[in-house]
Amino acid sequence: MSVTVITTLLGMGRWEPDARGRMIGAAMELFAERGFEQTTAGDIAERAGVSERTFFRHFADKREVLFDGSEAMERTAYDAILAAPADHSPLDAALAGMVAAGGLLEDRRDHAVRRSRIIAANPSLQERELLKLAAMVDTTAKALREREVTELNASLAAHSAVTVFYVAFAGWVSDEESPGFAACIAETAAALRALK
């Protein structure tokens, strides 16, 4: 998914185009260069050529600039779960959603890797990532409920699927020659099911 496309369609950044994308790029550069806490919101705005106030109009807080695509991933997972074959078990349907969401990452592996490194280096960014994963759990559970899955089973399958997503992502990122995100998810899901 291209931030440029979205912002252009929304008509944002009318002066220099893609102010939002410039802020995201500037933030990732600065966070990587000198760390998250050593970077002020003013620093990011300056490098992106906007005012600090404009930064906070685009992003609810300083951390949010790193999580721009999370909504799109949720929607993708949601749609894929509803589109999964009716005979899929709740867990399989949820995993299909994770594979679909992972596809968005696969398109920009380099970006995903750099981003995950930045997050790994700062606890307050990890905190925000956990919140996004929790939102993914909620969305996944909601999709499962629309497939007539029990409240409890929807919650458990959603948690399990997002756990698989999370663990598989770590493997996919760490292994340079990894076979692809879908394969990582399949492996991880198999290991989860093998748990006694």
Where do contacts with DNA occur on this chain (CB under 7 A)? 1-4, 10-15, 19, 39-42, 49-54, 56-58, 60-63
Q: Write down the least CB distance from residue 24 to DNA, Å.
A: 13
Looking at beta carbons only, is 57 or 193 nearer to DNA? 57
- Tokens 């609810």 locate to 60
- Applying CB under 8 A, the residues found at the interface with a copy of itself are 89-92, 123, 126-128, 130-131, 133-134, 152-153, 155-157, 159-160, 163, 166-167, 188, 191-192, 195-196
Q: Write down the least CB distance from residue 47 to a copy of itself, Å.
A: 27
Q: Provide the 3-class DSSP secondary structure of residue 193.
A: helix
How far is Cα 6 from Cα 8, in angstroms, rounded to an integer? 5
Q: Write down the least CB distance from residue 163 to a copy of itself, Å.
A: 4
Q: Write down the least CB distance from residue 164 to DNA, Å.
A: 31
User: Cβ distance 38 to 17 under 8 Å?
Assistant: no
Q: Write down the least CB distance from residue 119 to DNA, Å.
A: 15
1 binds, among DNA, a copy of itself, none (CB under 5 to 8 A by kind): DNA
- Give the DSSP letter string of 84-146: S-TTS-HHHHHHHHHHHHHHHHHTTHHHHHHHHHHHHT-HHHHHHHHHHHHHHHHHHHHHHHH
End-to-end CA, the chain: 39
How far is Cα 97 from Cα 193, in angstroms, rounded to an integer? 17
Looking at beta carbons only, is 35 or 179 nearer to DNA? 35
Looking at beta carbons only, is 60 or 83 nearer to DNA? 60
Looking at beta carbons only, is 33 or 175 nearer to DNA? 33
How far is Cα 151 from Cα 137, in angstroms, rounded to an integer? 13
